[in-house]
Amino acid sequence: MKILQLIYESFGSPFGFGGAGVRAYELYERLARKHEITLLCMKYPGARDGIIKGLQHRFVGIEHPGLIKSVAAYTFRAAQYLSSEAHRYSIVVENFLPATPFFSMLFTHRPVVLQMQGLMGVHAHQKFPAYLSLPMHLVENLYPRLFSNFIFVTGLHSLKGPFNSCRHAVIPNGIDARLLDVAVREDDYILFFSRIDSYTKGLDLLLRAFGSVADRFPRTRLVLAGHEATRVDDLLALIPCRLRKRVLYAGFVTGRQRTRLLADAKLFVLPSRHEAHPVSLMEAHACCKPVIVSDIPELQYVTREGLGLAFARGSADDLARKICSAMEDPGLRKVFGERGRKYASNFTWDDLARQFDSFLSSIVRETEAGHDG
């Protein structure tokens, strides 16, 4: 197959690289052994077409330092690319974001799959001004109905719409199998590892909760890691000076540094207001880390499978209580961690890539058979 993947983020982009990007590279680096893969990504200053991490990249848009103009140009130019080049590919996979509806199904007769991480829902109105949130809300509710092929990263329970009658597969995010053999220990820090996004990821709650935790555990630090969508300095300005020196920002880390940061944490905390299926959370499970998450539907598996604790969404006080409870009980942390590693072993990127390949291949075969008929 020749696969075209539409995804605005790419490795090296100054606009960020999160779970969707990690997923694309992990899956397609494996599929590239038998298929031709092209990533159609958003252009940024200095971006050049070519091979990155073993995958063919095409950058479209404008070389502009601003995100909004770059996204708008990318959406328009990507549609142009589809119109002229989509016939060269066997199948098109579009990563769904309300801000970038490509209407890819209008520009090609090739089969198109909409890959959905999750939906923002009412959170769009909390996070963005009305002139952005209203059109995003409309796109989120109406745009998916134009498609008949879907890949869901999270379970259907968290998504709205009549998707059950469509051709779909639920293929979550995963882990590198090598993490299951990483030696782990407990250093005295709590780890948050995701996009540094105050509202979406609940960092405002975590920093408020850490004030209570820090008083009870005077040697414990809070380590933040991930791309800065919200400036860390702005977040630290919200907490007392006495706490700031105990909050460390590790930056956007990859490779061995990423593994070590996960493997040495005492506790992994992800207080998100909404989520899909976080890569870093799965990696924390693989590294035997007990986790604390918000009690949102997408993360209910954590308590259902006995992998950690959940706090009442929006409550910094309950988050602090749950963190302290886990910090005080090494036996509980050990049980959660061991269960987490066993759970994560069911979600290796190798297995998920095979599922991804199988689903795309079945759509291509069915489309070709329909044309022959």
Which contacts qualify for 137-144: CB closer than 8 Å, 24 or more apart? 137/98, 139/98, 139/99, 139/101, 140/98, 143/96, 143/98, 143/101, 144/96, 144/114, 144/116
pLDDT for residue 97: 84
Q: What is the pLDDT of residues 237-249, one digit of tens each?
A: 989 998 999 999 9
Per-residue pLDDT band for 12 (boundaries 50, 70, 90) equals confident
Geometric angle at alpha carbon 337, from 335 and 338, rounded to 5°: 65
- The pLDDT tens digits for 180-206 are 999 999 999 999 999 999 999 999 999
Which pLDDT value is given to residue 158?
A: 46
Sequence-distant (6+) residues with CB within 8 A of 14 are 44, 45, 65
Look at residue 262 and tell me whether its pLDDT is greater than 90.
yes
CA distances from 216 to 211, 222, 268, 321, 324 (A): 9, 14, 18, 11, 8
How many Cα atoms are found within 13 Å in the side-chain-facing hemisphere of 226?
27
105-129 per-position pLDDT tens digit: 888 889 999 998 877 667 665 677 7
**Cβ of 191: how many Cβ atoms within 10 Å?**
25
Stated pTM of the model:
0.90
In the prediction, which pLDDT does 73 show? 94
Task: Provide CB contacts within 8 A for 372, sequence distance 6+.
Answer: none
Tokens found for residue 168: 């779909």
Q: Please write the tens of the pLDDT for every residue from 125-172.
A: 567 777 677 877 788 878 888 899 999 998 654 454 555 557 889 999
Cα angle 182, 186, 188; round to 5: 140
CA–CA separation, 282 and 303 (whole Å): 14
The share of the chain scoring above pLDDT 90, in percent, equals 71
Alpha carbon distance 324, 267 (integer Å)? 10
Q: Give the whole-angstrom CA distance, residue 351 versus residue 174.
A: 9
Question: What pLDDT, on a 0 to 100 scale, did the predictor assign at position 126?
Answer: 65
- State residue 99's pLDDT score: 80
pLDDT tier at 372, thresholds 50, 70, 90: low
Asked whether the beta carbons of 115 and 94 are under 8 A apart, the reply is yes
Is the pLDDT assigned to residue 213 strictly greater than 70?
yes
Q: Would the pLDDT of 221 be above 70?
A: yes
Say what the pLDDT of residue 238 is.
84
Report the b/e string of 32-47 with b at 16+ CB within 10 A: beebebbbbbbbbeeb
- Residue 237 class from Cβ within 10 Å (0-12 exposed, 13-18 middle, 19+ buried)? exposed
C-beta of residue 256 within 8 angstroms of C-beta of residue 225: no
Joined together, the tokens standing for residue 134 give 């209203």
The pLDDT, as a whole number, for residue 125 is 59
pLDDT, mean over the chain: 91
pLDDT digits 0-9 by tens, 311-361 = 999 999 999 999 999 999 999 999 999 999 999 999 999 999 999 999 999
- Beta-bridge partners for 199: none
pLDDT value at residue 67? 86
| pLDDT value, residue 163 | 57
Please, which residues have CB within 8 angstroms of residue 354's CB and are 6 or more apart in sequence?
A: none
Sketch out the chain's domains with CATH numbers: 2-174+349-368 (3.40.50.2000), 177-344 (3.40.50.2000)
What integer pLDDT is reported at residue 225 of this predicted model?
96
CA distance 288 to 271: 19
Average pLDDT estimate for 19-35: 94
Residues near 173 by Cβ (< 8 Å), separated by ≥ 6?
Answer: 19, 22, 23, 153, 276, 277, 278, 279, 282, 347, 352
Q: What is the pLDDT of residues 49-84, one digit of tens each?
A: 999 988 999 999 999 998 889 999 999 999 999 999
